[in-house]
Amino acid sequence: MVDKEQFETVGEGLLVRAPAKINLSLLIAGQRADGFHEIETVMAKVNFYDEILIQQGQKAGIELVCKGSYWAPEGEKNLIYTACEMLLDSCRSQSVTDAKAGIKITLTKNIPAGSGLGSASSDAAATLIAVNQFLQLALDKKNLSKLAAKLGSDVAFFLDGPLAICTGKGEKIEKLNENFNFSALLILPDVSVSTKKVYANYKHDPALYEKLNTRINRCIQKNRIDLVSKMCANMLQTSCFRLYKGLAELKAKIESLLGIRSLCLSGSGSAFVYIVDDRDEEKAREYQYELKEKTGCKSIVVSNNKW
């Protein structure tokens, strides 16, 4: 994949790119009193994007058009619509009055939903940033972050980055300034995983959490994010595989075919990530070709995003 800029002017409109994320580690510390799970995850953006075009609309209200390789919900069911509406409602200016008379948002969906790549959250964050810029609302990061927290646990991560430790429900962000440059094979099974079901099916293992937490914190203290990624620590994997047995079988098959062991599930699934040593993009493309020939499974070669 080619690195692209976050923003691009298209005619009189503004195009913003919404990058996918991968989880380099994902630990569950336990269940909270509010029913959510306390997580600790190292997340990195990759250069694989949805695209969102903001334009002045021809009719009153927010018009959302969805196109691209993958399905996305229309209208008010899409987090993009909610993000835009929430942003406009939070402001009182002539720009917002004009926008409510008509704003058009076109989503080109390139990242599959239910893949553990955070595309809906990234789309929502990109919408906040782009509409704020397009209408010259001048909301600062603090105010955007408050809106992001209301939209979903992962949304705040996508306002900054590209590498961070996220805790709480995922909304507490500690940006990592380490340079972790990588190439990766991103494998996209034709399976849409329900994050809600995976969490509901999760059975906590306190001893495993303590063990992984200690190892990961030691690596982070030494600025060795590369070692974190090699651990493939994802405490949601067992729950995901119990619900989607075909994914467990696919993982074993791919590891056997490619002669690798560290194939990692991203988020709650269904996407798998293999970080290639020494950022060897050519090696990643060899794996991609072999995977397509032997399994027909879709994959792309990505690298860490720069913003």
Instruction: Give catalytic residues, as residue numbers.
Output: 21, 154
CA distance 236 to 252: 17
What's the token pair of residue 116?
């553990």
DSSP letter at 108 equals: E
* DSSP-derived 3-state class of residue 192: coil
Assess contact for 281 and 161: CB atoms under 8 A. Answer: no
- Spell out a b/e string for 13-47, using b for 16 or more CB atoms within 10 Å of the CB, else e: bbbbbbbbbbbbbbbbbeeeeeeebebbbbbbbbb
Instruction: Determine the 3-state secondary structure of 156 from DSSP.
Output: helix
Strands 37-56 and 163-168: antiparallel
Between helix 79-89 and helix 141-151 the angle, nearest 10°, is: 140
The sign of the CA dihedral 258, 235, 213, 154 is positive
In sequence order, the 6+-apart residues with CB closer than 8 A to the CB of 65 are 104, 105, 106, 107
Beta strands in the chain (DSSP E): 7-10, 13-31, 37-56, 62-68, 103-109, 163-168, 172-175, 183-188, 264-265, 272-276, 298-303
